[in-house]
Amino acid sequence: MGAVAIYPGSFDPPTLGHVSLVERGLAVFDRIIVAVAKNPLKGALFSVDERVELLRESLAERFPDGRIEIDRFEGLTVDYARRKGAAAILRGLRATSDFEFEFRMAMMNRHLEKDIHSVFLMADHRWFFISSSTVKEAASLGADVSDLVPEPVARRLRSKYPPEPREG
């Protein structure tokens, strides 16, 4: 059995930054379990079911060889990782903004479960400044974000927020 990582996150919605991270993760791990965290404290645009479905539609075509699993979980990430037999928690780092938060979370996870390692990768530089929240905000104001998200996500965003003609 090869090394398995879980890649936990909100994925509200999945972006090409997330896809890039999975692609790079597969160069390091044999299998990646992309897991939508159910976090009632975060007001989400898409339900957990919708996010799981969007991840399936977005990742299955690109990575068809059974090395990707899409799942959901509640509770502590380290408990979920242990249940899944994962050796690592995969997270992404963007230009400067993520470090402090990710560092604190990795420290806590290590305190809780020293045998599960946090592994950080960077997405391709094209996605350094892309986040689900900026994508959501721009789409909600009528912007076309189709070059920042997988096609199934672009479709869902268009149906939620019909694009508006821009002035100028």
Coil, strand or helix: which one is 156?
Answer: helix
CB neighbour list of residue 47: distance below 8 Å, 6 or more residues apart: none
Task: Report 57-116 residues binding ligand ADP (CB under 6 A).
Answer: 91-92, 94, 98
Would residue 42 show up in a list of annotated catalytic residues for this protein? yes
Please work out, in degrees rounded to the nearest 5, the angle formed at the alpha carbon of residue 135 by the alpha carbons of 131 and 140.
150
Would residue 118 show up in a list of annotated catalytic residues for this protein? no
Q: Which stretch binds ligand ADP (CB under 6 A): 10-18, 52-60, 66-74, 138-146?
A: 10-18
Number of helices and strands (H, E) in the chain?
Answer: 6, 5
Out of 10, 20, 58, 132, pick the active-site residue: 132
| Gyration radius (Cα) of the chain, Å | 16
**Shortest Å distance, C-beta 154 to ligand ADP:** 16
Would residue 136 show up in a list of annotated catalytic residues for this protein? no
Interface with ligand ADP by CB under 6 A: which residues?
Answer: 9-11, 15, 17-18, 21, 91-92, 94, 98, 123, 127, 130-132
Which residues are known to be catalytic?
Answer: 18, 42, 94, 132
